[in-house]
Structure 1
Amino acid sequence: MLELDTDAALAELVRHRRELHRIPELDFCLPETIAYIERVLEPLSCTVIHPCDGCVCALFDTGSARTVAIRADMDALPIAEATGVPFASAHEGRMHACGHDAHMAMVLTLAGWLDRVVRERPGALPRNVLLVFQPAEETTGGAARVCASGVFERNQVERIFGFHVWPDLPWGSLASRPGPLLARASEVHISIHGQSTHIAKTFGLTVEETHDAALAAARFLVTERWLVRKLGQDEPIVAHFGLLQAGTVCNAVAGEAALAGSVRVFSDAMFERVKEELARTLDEACSSCGCTYDIDIAEGYPPVTNDDALFERAATVLPELQRIDEPLLIAEDFAFYQRQIPGVFFLLGVGAPQDERAACGDLGHATTALHTDTFMFDERVLLEGLSVYRRLVALP
């Protein structure tokens, strides 16, 4: 296998990451990002494919009948950047605050290395390599559209790998686990319909006769807390409602109430139980107050579940891989790929040790949390991710 000039690779990783950091774009609307990726790929020994809107793929053909895919997400977040770095976002109100610029930089640098392997060492890799640059990870699950495009079937893809930079893990560490790694995430939207009337007219009425949407919402939330604790005895679950709006004035019964929340679970079976129990709990709360309701529980992202056999095979070439004891209640649309082909998702630690949260490479920034306006990290860690990818594409 070709060796890697680490100094040159690091310079390339940093260049890609910073250029992409300057041009954050959202959802499926990624013209500048796609143009940048296409410029990098154009001179390389690969076939560039556009399987669906907002997606760019690069196929490196090694002559094999089998293919391994590597995924990078491209979209950013609607966050105004406050890092103050020289390469800060040039797009007001948008920022790569989740590390997708880092994910793309690793895969683009991998592309340059693959180009050399294909040209200088034909037959050195056991599979073709399909690099997938996907849109809309942060919003509507762009991975699902990539899967529906048929690009994996057309190119005989039999496995897929992906990364996420992770501030909660020590810098340079690699972690994952077989089976469930990240949770299913589904949004819940509820509308409760009552009847608005002056509070003076409620004197002497039963609760059911008040048609109080605010009271129905309150009863639902209290019971829902108890329900989550009960279901959580069987497996980890989070169901929380962060939005509650009801009524218009202080001296009238609320005629309408709206609630919005999110559910996180690790299995389809628990998801079905949660949907059933939430609907039952809501029905009881509304009936007790003489109200009606509408409830919408989105299918959302499935849980990220690593293929057991592929995980163990990958572990044979990744001696540094640490195993996480418990799955995390974070969501990622990489899960859609794993429902179509075996896949393993890894977390790349970018967090500084607690006693060293000062300088971050040449940036003078400590690592901060994902989805914050100051998210930054020591870019030298990207060499670790590149090393992992090189070993994974060479995995028999």
Structure 2
Amino acid sequence: MKQLTLSILLLASLSGFAQNPAPAGPQTRAIALTGATIHVGNGQVINNGVILFDKGIITAVGDGNTPTNGAEVINVAGKHIYPSIISPASTVGLQEISAVRATVDFQETGYINPNIRSLIAYNTDSEVIPTIRNNGLLLTQVMPMGGVISGSSSVVQSDAWNWEDAVLKADDGIWLTWPGYFARSFDFEDFSVSLKKNEQRQESINALKATFSDALAYAALKNPAPKNLKFESMKGLFDGTKNLYIRADYGKDIIEAIKFAKQMGIRKPVIVGGEDAGRVIDFLKENNVAVILGPMHRLPTLQDEDVYLPYKLPGLLQKAGIAVSLSYDGAYWRTRNLPFQAGTAAGFGGIDKEDALKMITSTTAKIMGIDNVVGTLEKGKHATLVVSKGDLLDMRTNVIEHAYIQGRHINLDDKHKRLYHMYREKYGQPDVGK
């Protein structure tokens, strides 16, 4: 009872500190951003560029000679314009304080839950959401976790009153954790990681085979009665309208998981995590399988591997012709550092920054099936973009000065900024942010 009381007091103190800014209203007049360097997101860079958007849609992108056609002109000379970063495999908005169970809502009980929808648990009032906007992340794929089949993810916008307003693409894919040969255990006393045999592996695989076989047979029925909610949610896997996101790290597990997906008639398997993806590049390319890598700022999987291998891996995959995206795979607070993972990939992977930018914009959009509306700054797409003081992929110059979601000018206030100003004033320190 004492612990519950403390938790309630903690939540009350956090929520009472300040409120998130209200979501922005719809765009009311055409806007032209002029004079900036425009990073389109497909590798193209436009110096001294102009981008126009009206009613939330980009109407023109070009050089300094592009007519503004009576739009409100905002001079952003010397700045950089980027498409919104898209954060895949995230639990932002699904958990607030890891130690407080009442604020964690990314997992359901049970092991086979394809019908669970993370979208309806998305909390638009989360204090975490405004903090990631300030590093250029305006779009997030919120995913479920837990069990073998966790449920479905959705792509949301980071400025909305509720999940209905936030959704950009609902139920884009089902999440599966492949039962590998080995399971990791972490020792909190000496911080060591050890491997042990996964004793439940075959049992889990048998359950997966039974579930997917039944779902495939169900999908072939024209008018099933009664409807099975679990199998209804899996229909899109067999006609290609949904991805199957498979968490797998070791090379042998990656190969086995992809073979399983192909045997079950899955059109679009996507590997998530993929620590050993560099060992199975030919297999991934042969099967046209995209990879969403997990956190890069880590040590390599094996002790005798190149210590910089995690930094080089995105470049190795991209140069091999594999669609590669970057993520923090559920580490919700660290999501804000996603652009700096792309910067690391450029620095160590033998690719330029525009190619690294694709890994968190256009390639991610293509994997999720939203590249028709976001991912690049092109005419006809959503005006979901950011204006940065400098290089978005460099933590020293990633300073977001303007952000727009479908043309709506977003308030960039957040809890971190409020705390900074409060304690700066308390201790009489100069405001270095001005």
Same fold (TM over 0.5): no
In the superposition, the TM-score normalised over structure 2's length comes to 0.21
* Structure label with greater radius of gyration: 1
Structure with more contact order per residue of length (Cα contacts < 8 Å, sep ≥ 6) = 1
